[in-house]
Chains A and B, each alone.
Chain A
Amino acid sequence: MEFTESELERYSRQIILKEVGGRGQYALKRARALVVGAGGLGSPIAMYLGAAGVGTIGLIDGDAVDLSNLQRQVLHTTPHVGMPKVESGRQLLEALNPDVRVTTYQEPLDAGNIMTLLPDYDLVLDGSDNFGTRFLVNDACFFARKTLISGSIFRFEGQLATIKPHEGHPCYRCLYPEPPPAGLVPNCQEAGVLGVLAGTIGVLQANEAIKEILKTGETLANHLLIYDALDMTFRKVRRPKDPRCPLCGTAPTITALEEHHVSCRL
């Protein structure tokens, strides 16, 4: 457990926390987190994990930075408009903290690549913007036995949960067995979204990831957190494991990855 002088200085404000300490900082340094989507949620996730000293951060996203992203995707800056998001993100993270190893995948996450990526990571943070990816990530993390921190936002509302079916907790399909059919809910582009909301939920995802790495505190493994930015309410509801879950239940009907082609720009 060796740290350089500059590492000790950089992380001094958290190493003095008894829940972190040198041991926790070393756990962060050894941790490998895959961030799905370098967008509204992925930005604060990657920046706070990087700043905290998470040693390896994977960024997967197939898109390029657009001017209309910058209202909420704080990983990207105006000079980076047009650049692949993962490259823009890598540059910012390396400037923020050169100790962090940033691995980039300039492609959309899909059933063809996800299972090859997961073995290189300890946990996954979902910042994706569509139901197809969200269910795919849940299913893949279940098969690969990886902890998933799931966050999602819509207009002024956010949801957050920690998904650990491999430790006996419910999966995302225990909460919502199926994605909605296309066309029932508009996507973010149509619906609009408050930039700060993405920040709030993304930062909370980073918080839950850090707690997983440090193995401290209460987790959202059996709860769903619902945040309403307009009413300014946080509510926690119980999220039981569903024995009839099509994925992690006692008689599963989903036994391999499936793409949801109806997907769901909802």
Chain B
Amino acid sequence: MITIRIPTPLRSMTGGKSEIEGKGASIGELIEQMNADHPGLKDRLCDEQGEIRRFINVYLNEEDIRFLTGKDTPVKDGDEVSIVPAIAGGAHD
């Protein structure tokens, strides 16, 4: 099992859960399976071409997958995958 950390803005898609479990051999497979369990999640993560959106980063353990092999990055049991979107609030107004 792979642990996937869900950021606050996407927790409405996971019933409020901050962590879900996933299966798959790569980040791409993990996203497909997450989307099967939580329909609509892929659209929030990926653009029309299926690429991960430019303001959302996915980390395999501590590494940004953009600097590994993107969605082809292999994952294995025990890995932790984190989804980290850009946030902008300074809680100013």
A178 at the B interface (CB under 8 A): yes
A152 at the B interface (CB under 8 A): yes
Tell me if A231 and B9 are in contact (CB < 8 A): no
- By a CB distance below 8 angstroms, the chain B residues around A228 are 8, 18
B48 at the A interface (CB under 8 A): no
Q: Which of B18, B64, B86 contacts A238 (CB 8 A)?
A: B64
Nearest chain-B residue to A178 (Cβ)? B54
Interface string of B30-67 (1 = CB under 8 A from A): 00000000000000100000000111010100111011
* Interface range for A: 35 or more
- By a CB distance below 8 angstroms, the chain A residues around B64 are 237-240
A264 at the B interface (CB under 8 A): yes
Question: In whole Å, how far is B73's beta carbon from the nearest beta carbon of chain A?
Answer: 14
Tell me if B18 and A40 are in contact (CB < 8 A): no
Tell me if B63 and A129 are in contact (CB < 8 A): no
A228-B18, A240-B67 known; A152+B90 contact, CB < 8 A: yes
- By a CB distance below 8 angstroms, the chain B residues around A121 are none
Question: In whole Å, how far is B81's beta carbon from the nearest beta carbon of chain A?
Answer: 11
- By a CB distance below 8 angstroms, the chain A residues around B44 are 184
Tell me if B88 and A39 are in contact (CB < 8 A): no
Most buried by B among A126, A191, A197: A191
Cα–Cα distance between A73 and B62 once the two chains are bound (Å): 33
Stretch at the interface among A24-32, A153-161, A213-221: A153-161
Within 8 A of B (CB), among A186-233: 187-189, 191, 193, 195, 197-198, 224, 226, 228, 230-231
Question: B-contacting residues of A (Cβ < 8 Å)?
Answer: 37, 39-42, 61, 63, 66, 69, 72-73, 126-131, 134, 151-159, 175-180, 184-185, 187-189, 191, 193, 195, 197-198, 224, 226, 228, 230-231, 235-240, 242, 264, 266
Q: Can you spell out 10 A-B residue pairs with CB atoms less than 8 angstroms apart?
A: A39-B92, A127-B92, A153-B89, A177-B54, A179-B55, A187-B89, A188-B91, A188-B92, A240-B67, A266-B88
Instruction: Pick the 8 closest A-B CB pairs, nearest first.
Output: A39-B92, A40-B91, A129-B92, A154-B87, A129-B90, A188-B89, A176-B86, A180-B55
Q: With A39-B90, A159-B84, A198-B91 given, can you name 12 additional A-B contacts, CB distance below 8 Å?
A: A126-B90, A128-B90, A152-B88, A177-B54, A180-B53, A180-B55, A224-B84, A228-B8, A237-B64, A238-B63, A240-B67, A264-B88
